[in-house]
Chain A
């Protein structure tokens, strides 16, 4: 589209007192190539907005550059209907509030930012959303309590649902339970599972189509257009997926030190449920009704050799099962040996109620030994309450075993390293499960990536439904150890996200976090060299590949981080409003003073979510810093393309600084690996520097949290000291 640029410079909030506004107006017209360039004392007021709108209507301005406050504020007033493109230039927080007023360097900074904004407005287009015919059916995989609840919740919100369960019947683990511990106040009494009613509710719901006794053969496509093939041969299309494929109890055979497999009267909590449900609680060895039972908590859990995590539900489960024992026989005794009794929130009431029961004894202690003594089992415990070893003889020992997600990655398999041809173990986060669930036809693997212990959970505290496979949401015990009440709540949340994904996708919008974003990547395939960087580095598995290794984009899987754009050495991946050319042109728009002017220039690429706002807050606090730094915000530091850096040095920049989010185990990058990838790429920058005969000190990569706004100006100042020491870029002026 032919651009008619209007530049509007605000002189309010101290901008006018710090800068030569007339000078900026001229820069807008000359270097910025704006048809109209004006100043106003309060651009965000009704008069200022009217000024801009009049030019749009009367003068045909279709690209507006607002040079005023940070783009993070006054968003609601600076809004113009498409096709008008809006660019914000931050003259307030990043210039007037943080640099010496009426200073040559401050003015140069403002003029550069204006040139950068103008060139961006010239080059960028308002994105046209990617729209295809979107199916809004929800697929739920797994017919346990989580899956059934998710199906019902989605149906109650008006959605069509398909529910696939591999067993011949619905219900999952709850079919096997005798009772539930209390979910309702006053949290004292055991409750029925209600599972039969729940199954009937699902089966009779006209919006839910149930498939039992079959599994997913494969899942092809992308959000809004997932093509599902079942093992029974049926095929259908859905918009999004809830994966509720549950857990397995930890294999008690591995707990031989607790006598499992050795003594018939050592059983698991699952076996205990089955016994309570089907009849009397007896000793498996001789069928005698039990008079005494010992429950051993953390049977495998909280143990680095077994399950390092806490399974969250076993304390409450053993308290419940202890009640089974004394309710069957009021004279019977139940002992619970625990490390910490974990009955959070209102569940404490149930704990207290069980403690009141006269036959139930609780002790903090560690089990030292279990041995057969006559027809009883002698359980020896280091009782930390009494500070001595105690021993009880019981009829039955119940091991409170924990939960293992069915998404536990396959670890036994190996793969061939394509380069060395050696056999290497499949990494934990391989996207392959020991028991396949979705069989995604994705280049990055057939299943959702998982966290440390095999749960495909979100890594983000604020965003529990973040997923690395767009449109696919894990729920229930698959994503973390939860009890049935929590699973049901989680199912509702996952259902909301699944519905929302189809709604946003139908509008051509991204799903979390960039839900406002309607841009999507377009590839100039003629120049693709099949290097596979985009298909490998996309954190969300957006790209498939054809047999010749050409990338096949699936735009509805895309989260608009532009990590692929940063990865591409051929620079063929672009968004309408964000491309290698657009950012590269901004870099080129910055004026580099001659060496003898002794005004070095540093280019700073900042993550738009954390580092950029941090610099705004520094401005809000009027923290001053070096005026020789030029900041460009990036969607994610992972979208940084190396060519910008070599361009910058070729142009005469003296240094480049990259500031992104924390990476590593506790990564904070909202696009999973963006800041880490930027760090990896920066090692390649060193090669570029060597090639250009430049010092390695000229590039720094930093990790910054948003609350380190007081640190960022110091980081800039320190880097500038380094640059002054290293001296000017010898290519300046060449």
Chain B
């Protein structure tokens, strides 16, 4: 499969999708290898983008249409790159594909999920809701096919879904496969994962149910999230009267992530908008070291600063403890006032940072990493893009991915010259 004119894109989030489409529209073949059963990655789980507060699926709709109408793009989901050999212009890549157990006959009719007796925690909603063992990953899912969670599906001993499927779309005996791709250039767009908030033991995540992370907040605010888009306290399902956003939860901290995660300030300012849009009377606090609203994102900061009942306070949250009624007490070193203050709120959102997805599980091939596991640009034909390279927002990920597509094309072109 593939050829030396093909570009492999590892990762099907916004960076990977962008790199593949841009390369394909410039006339090259592109293959996306994605580990999830769907494309869209982290952005598909975000409620809105800053600063426009527009909807990620709007752009995904266009991108999926660009993929569906372009025969130059191939998408392989539930797949992982196992090996990369060769050199610039001529790589051979081994990809291992986990069986989806649902084939292209799937029509999304949904009969299978109706009869499926097994439930699972929905990873799309970060475990805050459940789906059946056979499930459609999300309303916008592309490829538009159900998937089966092998970890919980009892398999042929149950087989209820197979019986009910009129389109012979389910094959519980489907086996995995190993593919060999020949490609001329590679874009690594493996993205990020949130820093594990449980490691921030002074901030009470995992101990107090109303301490949540910023990625959880995205799902709470999203209409296809566990609460149908309502911001509710996990402890009692009630709307919070006050919410505190704790910046640099792990970032800019020698004990956790020494670097700045680049997007969390804007992320929290955006989430303050979520809170105020639904709960106009709620109090919002944001405790920060520096507010990093670069370029004309400054306008958005100014807008939030002017909102009633919003306090942006320069100060480092030292400790969070539980209070009566599932409330939370924050101890803050308030820098402006030069003293320690305490603030009691109904809910806390930790602005956890971005860790490269491949920080602990590096890819094969000729790739240079910095000490944090971000990819450092090099002359190899394997090019990093988006958050695999540095923590950046969606706009700059897409920008970088477009450039990465060109770098991969150059690798193909260089290979072509080499091979005459």
Contact = CB atoms under 8 A, between A and B. Distances in A.
Contact of B139 (A153, A661, A662, A709): A709
A496 interface: yes
A239 B335 CA distance: 56
Contacts of B359: none
A516 B292 contact: no
Interface stretch (A102-110, A210-218, A498-506, A641-649): A498-506
A462 B44 CA distance: 12
Contacts of A74: 107
13 contacts: A340-B292, A344-B294, A346-B372, A347-B260, A461-B59, A463-B398, A481-B295, A500-B26, A617-B140, A621-B139, A666-B52, A668-B55, A707-B55
Interface in A448-471: 451-453, 455, 459-465
A452 B400 CA distance: 23
B390 A493 contact: no
Contacts of B338: 385-387
A493 B292 contact: no
A609 B259 CA distance: 38
A613 interface: yes
Interface in A316-361: 340-349, 352
B402 A42 contact: no
B61 A610 contact: yes
A461 to B, nearest CB: 4
B228 to A, nearest CB: 8
B281 interface: no
Contacts of B406: 153, 157, 492-493, 495-496, 499
Interface stretch (B65-73, B115-123, B150-158, B206-214): B65-73
B297 interface: yes
A706 B298 contact: no
Interface string B62-83: 1101101110000000000000
Interface of B: 14, 18, 22-23, 25-27, 47, 49, 51-63, 65-66, 68-70, 105, 107-109, 139-140, 144, 166-167, 222-224, 252, 258-262, 290-299, 302, 314, 335-338, 370-372, 374, 376, 390-392, 394-396, 398-400, 402-407, 409-410, 413-414
Contact of B22 (A496, A516, A620, A705): A496
Interface stretch (A119-127, A306-314, A531-539, A624-632): A306-314
A279 interface: no
B109 A12 contact: yes
A89 B394 CA distance: 35
Given A186-B371, A309-B296, A666-B53, A493 B108 contact: no
Given A12-B107, A156-B413, A308 B298 contact: yes
B399 A345 contact: no
Given A384-B335, A386-B338, A13 B58 contact: no
B394 A309 contact: no
B108 A384 contact: no
The 4 lowest CB-CB distance pairs between A and B, nearest first, are A462-B59, A492-B403, A516-B69, A493-B402
A352 B223 CA distance: 41
B25 A515 contact: yes
B390 A346 contact: yes
A194 interface: no
B49 A348 contact: no
Contacts of B49: 461-462
Contacts of B258: 348-349, 352
B259 A346 contact: yes
Given A346-B259, A516-B66, 6 more contacts: A157-B406, A184-B376, A459-B52, A496-B26, A516-B70, A610-B61
Contact of A344 (B23, B54, B262): B262
B58 A610 contact: yes
B26 A76 contact: no
Contacts of A340: 290-292
A496 B412 CA distance: 14
A342 B59 contact: no
B390 A345 contact: yes
A73 B145 CA distance: 10
A308 B294 contact: no
A45 B140 CA distance: 22
Interface in A474-526: 480-481, 489-493, 495-497, 499-500, 503-504, 512-513, 515-516
Contacts of B371: 185-186
Contacts of B404: 492
Interface string A692-734: 0000000000000111111000000000000000000000000
Nearest to A500: B26
B335 A385 contact: yes
B218 to A, nearest CB: 12
B304 to A, nearest CB: 14
Contacts of A670: 62
Contacts of B409: 157, 496
B8 to A, nearest CB: 17
B395 A496 contact: no
Contacts of A42: 107, 166-167
A634 to B, nearest CB: 15
Given A342-B292, A516-B69, A707 B407 contact: no
A617 B109 contact: no
Contacts of B54: 461, 662, 666, 668, 705
A233 B332 CA distance: 67
Given A668-B54, A670-B62, A707 B223 contact: yes
Given A464-B395, A515-B25, A706-B61, A345 B403 contact: no
A500 B26 CA distance: 4
A513 B58 contact: no
Interface residues of A, number: 88
A705 B66 contact: no
Nearest to A149: B403
A352 B404 CA distance: 29
Given A13-B107, A710-B223, A302 B298 contact: yes
B57 A706 contact: yes
B337 A387 contact: yes
B57 A707 contact: yes
A465 to B, nearest CB: 6
A202 interface: no
B14 A462 contact: yes
A166 B144 CA distance: 52
A282 to B, nearest CB: 32
Contact of A349 (B105, B259, B403): B259
Contact of B144 (A12, A73, A302, A455): A73
A310 B297 contact: yes
A58 interface: no
Most buried by B among A156, A387, A706: A706
B66 to A, nearest CB: 6
A503 B26 contact: yes
Nearest to B69: A516
Contacts of A13: 107-109
B188 to A, nearest CB: 15
Nearest to B402: A493
B295 A309 contact: yes
A671 B177 CA distance: 43
Contacts of B392: 345
B400 A668 contact: no
A364 interface: yes
A514 B166 CA distance: 35
Contact of B68 (A76, A343, A387): A76
Nearest to B339: A387
A341 B290 contact: yes
A14 interface: yes
A707 B107 contact: no
Given A310-B295, A345-B392, A709-B139, A465 B52 contact: no
Contacts of A352: 258
B107 A185 contact: no
A337 B54 CA distance: 36
Most buried by A among B108, B261, B292, B399: B399
B108 A620 contact: yes
Contacts of A346: 259, 370, 372, 374, 390
